Amino acid sequence: MENSIRKKFETRAGIIKSMGHPTRLFIVDELSRGERCVCELTELIGADVSTVSKHLTILRNAGIVQDDKRGSQVFYSLTVPCVLNFFDCVESVLKARLSKQMDSIG
Amino acid sequence: MENSIRKKFETRAGIIKSMGHPTRLFIVDELSRGERCVCELTELIGADVSTVSKHLTILRNAGIVQDDKRGSQVFYSLTVPCVLNFFDCVESVLKARLSKQMDSIG
DNA sequence: TGCACATTTGACTATATTGCCAAATGTGCA
DNA sequence: TGCACATTTGGCAATATAGTCAAATGTGCA
């Protein structure tokens, strides 16, 4: 694969990869219903704040979320709504997976 | 996070994660133009066949691609066309990232 | 059967990711 | 200033992932 092509796919894969983690996908899902501060997300996820913060950093670096510091809190929100389409497609994949399973059982 | 919720996001993140690798994203892109055998993909990617085969296994297990063995060759194709929407959204994210950069430069 | 070709699998090393704790940083307020 | 709270960062151990080579498997054909 030519180098500029490889770079192109590295950049794009990086964006997708940032959502390829259960906690981060949960965050995206949660932010689809509005902005949330780190403390709210931490409460919902039930992990260490530092862990949540790092996941948010990964999503921010990818460009999936943006942060808004207000007072001592930091509110995160989605930068681009289209990431929600991922969920629909993932459901299609799951559906296709199931019908394949059915076929194999007969 | 409750256990059934965690599992739900693990399953879905796994599907997304399978596309979060440059080579695998390239494969998805290439398959959007029709089925390809392992040898063709290997040629295009320029990596070891075994590496390509393993990437294809990951995509197959995720449910993104399906294989069709014909003779001594194995042809891969997309199971669900909607994964191509990912590309459009990724471009939006890149665009948003760029305009943010512009803003920060002023 | 035996050979050429296509693909997968196993074993291994190198590298990357994750999560936790502790410490640092930043903010508002008494 | 000093304290409480929110968040980020650094360091570290456990785990997961990626790539390579060698070997195994499967197919078609002479």
Overall number of domains in chain A: 1
Q: Is the pLDDT of residue A106 over 80?
A: no
Does the CB of A71 have a partner CB in chain B at under 8 Å?
Answer: no
Q: What six digits make up the tokens of A72? A: 């001592």
CB B37 within 8 A of CB B75: yes
- Is residue B47 situated within a structural domain? yes
CB B87 within 8 A of CB B29: yes
pLDDT in tens, B17-35: 999 999 999 999 999 999 9
Report the distance from CA of residue A51 to the C1' of nucleotide D12 in Å, as an integer.
14
- Is residue A98 situated within a structural domain? no
What does the CA dihedral B30, B36, B42, B43 come to, rounded to 10 degrees? -80
CB B55 within 8 A of CB B23: yes
- Is residue A95 situated within a structural domain? no
The size of chain B, in residues, is: 106
- Is residue B25 situated within a structural domain? yes
The 10 Å Cβ neighbour count of residue A64 is: 26
| Residue entry with tokens 């459901």 | A91
Q: What six digits make up the tokens of B73? A: 């060759």
Does the CB of A96 have a partner CB in chain B at under 8 Å?
Answer: yes
A51: the nucleotide nearest its CA (via C1') is C19
CA distance A54 to A56: 5
ipTM attached to this prediction? 0.94
Closest partner CB to A89 (pick from B25, B26, B80): B80
Closest Cα partner for A91 from B77, B9, B65, B18? Answer: B9
What range defines the domain where residue A53 resides?
Answer: 3-79
CA distance A19 to A41: 16
- Is residue B96 situated within a structural domain? no
- Is residue A102 situated within a structural domain? no
Nearest CA to the C1' of D10 belongs to which residue? A50
Report the distance from CA of residue B102 to the C1' of nucleotide C16 in Å, as an integer.
31
DSSP one-letter string for A63-99: TSEEEEEETTEEEEEES-GGGGHHHHHHHHHHHHHHH
Residue type, A56: L
Contact B89/A97, CB-based, under 8 Å?
Answer: no
- Is residue A26 situated within a structural domain? yes
Q: What six digits make up the tokens of B27? A: 């494969």
In this structure, what are the phi and psi dihedrals at residue A71, rounded to the nearest 5 degrees?
65, -135
Does the CB of B93 have a partner CB in chain A at under 8 Å?
Answer: yes
pLDDT in tens, A4-53: 999 999 999 999 999 999 999 999 999 999 999 999 999 999 999 999 99
- Is residue A44 situated within a structural domain? yes
Contact A17/B14, CB-based, under 8 Å?
Answer: no
Q: What six digits make up the tokens of A74? A: 């930091």
pLDDT in tens, A65-86: 999 999 999 999 999 999 999 9
Q: Which domain CATH number covers B48?
A: 1.10.10.10
